[in-house]
């Protein structure tokens, strides 16, 4: 039984995707959206309100980047996980297993000497993000014994992976992989390279290669974007996801093994080293069954 448990754990925990299905909307709520509290959007999955005391300009944060003042966001089903994961990484009070939450001190662009701080609140009831204070009150309404649960479709990546430096060969192409740092921002480049948890490589129709290292705050955003919006087909191994039939005839692969973005074939075939232990345990279990 112990061996069977180990086999099950190794088999289910080795893949980047916890689910291959696209997230389905389970709510139909109304949220404020934009920089004006008079703009309403319907059919939202969750509401978000963000306040900044100053402009924060960074490509490494979905929620932190923006102009000073208040921003209201209607989150759709295909946006929920990326924004929620970003908040979990940048705000210490946001919990992994629930959508409802708030934090008065979130950090965007942590590599800067002057860190960009902001406040954020996410809620899941009608018109709950009219202002920050009301959102905070609505995160744990008195009529609910506990907040609604939430589960990710992409595994939480925490281990640093060594990718090829993205800016040694980065040049404008038809790729949807963006340049995360300005060409003269060495501090940003070093932060991305030193804190990457996922490597990405793209080959466009002209056979030009684009590489990118993705840090914890935004890797899920790009994975979900390619999976739900930009590409119509993908395959996966224990440590990679290979996208084909993408817009602009782009082929893209994401992987989480050191040096896996050398080329598309290397990325596509990347697997977890501990997958071999699964085979060993399976073999051992087979021997024990034969003997006993």
270-274 mean pLDDT? 64
Give the residue with greater pLDDT, 48 vs 248.
48
- Give me the DSSP letters along the chain: -HHHHHHHHHHHHS-SBS--SPPPP---EEEE-BSSTT-EEEEESEEEEEEESS-B--SS-TTT-B-SEEEEEEE-HHHHHHHHHHHHHH-TT--TTBS-EEEEEEEE-TTSSS-EEEEEEEE-STTTTSSHHHHHHHHS-TT-SSPPB---SBPPP-S---PPPTTSS----S-S----S-TT-HHHHHHHHHH-SEEEEEE-TT--EEEEEE-TTTHHHHHHHIIIIIEEEEEE-SSEEEEEEEGGG-EEEEE-STTTTSSHHHHHT---TTHHHHHHHHHHHHHHHHH-
On whether both 115 and 181 belong to a single domain, the answer is no
Give the residue with greater pLDDT, 223 vs 287.
223
Q: Tokens 């466009």 identify what position?
A: 204
Q: Which of 26-35, 53-62, 124-133, 178-187 has the lowest average pLDDT?
A: 178-187
How many domains does the structure of the chain reveal? 2
Res. 216 pLDDT band, cuts 50 70 90: very high
In this prediction, residue 242 carries a pLDDT of 96
In this prediction, residue 230 carries a pLDDT of 93
CA 216 distance to own-chain centroid: 7
On whether both 180 and 219 belong to a single domain, the answer is yes
On whether both 60 and 129 belong to a single domain, the answer is yes
Last residue of one domain, picked from the residues 114, 139, 164: 139
State the average pLDDT for the chain: 83
Q: Tokens 């996966």 identify what position?
A: 236
Maximum C-alpha span of the chain = 73
Predicted model pTM:
0.81
Res. 144 pLDDT band, cuts 50 70 90: low
Give the residue with greater pLDDT, 177 vs 256.
256
Using the predicted structure, report yes or no on whether residue 188 has a pLDDT greater than 50: yes
33-45 mean pLDDT? 86
In this prediction, residue 196 carries a pLDDT of 94
45-62 mean pLDDT? 92
In-domain check, residue 150: no
Using the predicted structure, report yes or no on whether residue 50 has a pLDDT greater than 70: yes
On whether both 61 and 124 belong to a single domain, the answer is yes
In-domain check, residue 144: no
On whether both 27 and 17 belong to a single domain, the answer is no
Using the predicted structure, report yes or no on whether residue 277 has a pLDDT greater than 90: no
- Cα separation, 47 vs 75, whole angstroms: 6
The range of the structural domain enclosing residue 248 comes to: 1-21+155-292
On whether both 5 and 43 belong to a single domain, the answer is no
Using the predicted structure, report yes or no on whether residue 169 has a pLDDT greater than 80: no
């Amino acid at each position: 039984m112990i061996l069977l448990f180990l086999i099950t754990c190794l088999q289910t925990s080795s893949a980047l995707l916890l689910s291959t299905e696209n997230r389905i909307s389970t709510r139909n709520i109304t949220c404020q959206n934009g920089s004006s509290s008079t703009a309403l959007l319907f059919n939202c999955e969750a509401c978000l309100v963000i306040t900044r005391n100053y402009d924060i300009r960074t490509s490494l944060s979905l929620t932190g980047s923006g102009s000073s003042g208040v921003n209201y966001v209607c989150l759709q089903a295909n946006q929920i996980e990326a924004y929620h994961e970003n908040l979990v990484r940048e705000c210490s009070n946001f919990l992994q297993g629930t959508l409802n939450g708030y934090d008065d001190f979130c950090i965007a662009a942590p590599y800067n000497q002057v860190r960009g701080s902001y406040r954020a609140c996410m809620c899941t009831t009608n018109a709950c993000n009219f202002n920050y204070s009301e959102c905070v009150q609505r995160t744990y309404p008195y009529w609910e014994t506990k907040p609604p649960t939430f589960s990710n479709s992409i595994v939480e990546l925490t281990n640093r992976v060594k990718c090829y430096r993205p800016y040694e060969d980065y040049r404008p192409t038809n790729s949807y992989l963006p340049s995360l740092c300005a060409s003269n921002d060495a501090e940003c480049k070093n932060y991305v390279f030193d804190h990457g948890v996922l490597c990405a490589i793209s080959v466009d129709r002209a056979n030009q290669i684009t590489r990118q290292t993705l840090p914890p705050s935004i890797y899920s955003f790009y994975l979900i974007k390619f999976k739900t919006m930009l590409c119509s087909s993908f395959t996966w191994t224990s440590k990679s996801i290979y996208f084909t039939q993408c817009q602009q005839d782009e082929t893209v692969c994401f992987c989480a093994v050191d040096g896996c973005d050398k080329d598309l074939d290397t990325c596509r075939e990347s697997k977890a080293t501990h997958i071999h232990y699964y085979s060993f345990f399976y073999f051992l279990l087979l021997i024990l069954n034969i003997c006993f």
